[in-house]
């Protein structure tokens, strides 16, 4: 199945510092493309993969599980680590959860993590019905484009496959048990108003990780897909400053831009 225009993966060969960006559930690299291009313009090596089952049609996602999504970002991290001396992981929503699991499992290979509105659980009573409901109903309504900015849109599915939603629930429950293994510096940015992932998820992440270098930033003007919203520039600048502080080898251009 051909990839939707705009949903293609993005890669940029830059300097010795790399960043892996992970997109969200039912979304695509389009939601993080401006972030990726911003960091590439400041000399970083950037990888923004397309997760299996995403960026085509929801029927393709129905055939994938969290193990497929995680395997893709795990592979990309290993490739970045071969190319770069320092590697950071970042992500939006489920992508933030994937980034946190990479940090938990890869230890010193990951220099730091940046997460935007990270998911920690599937919410609502429907979550408890998923193990059964997924055999009776194929999809529910989509969650894409929770954006405050006028005219901005996220390229994502208008339906959520319940098999995939069940797999996401399993993944998030597993990750919650692994969060204490996250020890790296952490930058967490969350929207004050998010109609997809509540603030409780970010609070749970912050309470569970073992990181001692932790920064929380509240985005006052954005909804869930903050990387395409009013606070997008702040996300890009805060994350570049975070990376520049931990990896001064980003270079003069990068450090000057955030100084």
Q: Which residues are identified as catalytic?
A: 93, 194, 224
Please give the Cα distance from 34 to 24 (Å, whole number): 15
Q: Comparing C-alpha atoms, which of 36, 104, 84, 96 is closest to residue 250?
A: 84
Residue 163 φ/ψ region, left for φ over 0, alpha for ψ in the -120 to 50 degree band, beta for the rest: alpha
Q: Comparing C-alpha atoms, which of 152, 35, 39 is closest to residue 95?
A: 35
Residue 187 φ/ψ region, left for φ over 0, alpha for ψ in the -120 to 50 degree band, beta for the rest: beta
| Cβ atoms 49, 24 nearer than 8 A | no
For residue 15, what are its two tokens?
């300097």
**Which class for 132: exposed (0-12), middle (13-18), buried (19 or more C-beta within 10 A)?**
exposed
Distances (CA, A) of 147 to 109, 136, 193, 203: 33, 31, 10, 22
Please give the Cα distance from 6 to 259 (Å, whole number): 32
Q: Comparing C-alpha atoms, which of 206, 194, 248 is closest to residue 24?
A: 194
Say how many Å lie between the first and final Cα of the chain, rounded: 45
């Amino acid at each position: 199945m051909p990839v939707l225009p705009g949903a293609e993966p993005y890669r940029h060969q830059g300097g010795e510092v790399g960043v892996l960006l992970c997109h969200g559930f039912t979304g695509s690299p389009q939601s993080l493309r401006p972030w990726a291009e911003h960091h590439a313009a400041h000399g970083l090596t950037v990888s923004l993969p397309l997760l299996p089952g995403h960026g085509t049609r929801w029927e393709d996602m129905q055939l994938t599980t969290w193990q497929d999504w995680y395997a893709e970002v795990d592979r990309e991290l290993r490739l970045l680590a071969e190319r770069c001396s320092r590697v950071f992981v970042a992500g939006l929503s489920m992508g933030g959860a994937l980034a946190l699991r990479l940090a938990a499992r890869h230890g010193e290979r990951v220099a730091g993590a940046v997460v935007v509105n990270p998911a920690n659980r599937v919410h609502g009573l429907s979550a408890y019905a998923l193990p059964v409901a997924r055999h009776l109903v194929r999809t529910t309504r989509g969650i894409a484009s929770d954006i405050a900015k006028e005219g901005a849109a996220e390229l994502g599915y208008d339906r959520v496959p319940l098999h995939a939603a069940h797999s996401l629930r399993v993944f998030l429950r597993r990750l919650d048990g692994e969060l204490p293994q996250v020890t790296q510096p952490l930058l967490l940015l969350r929207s004050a108003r998010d109609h997809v992932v509540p603030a409780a998820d970010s609070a749970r992440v912050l309470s569970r990780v073992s990181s001692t270098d932790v920064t929380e930033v509240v985005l006052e003007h954005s909804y869930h897909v903050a990387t395409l919203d009013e606070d997008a520039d702040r996300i890009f600048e805060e994350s570049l400053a975070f990376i520049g502080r931990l990896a001064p080898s980003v270079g003069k251009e990068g450090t000057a831009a955030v100084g």
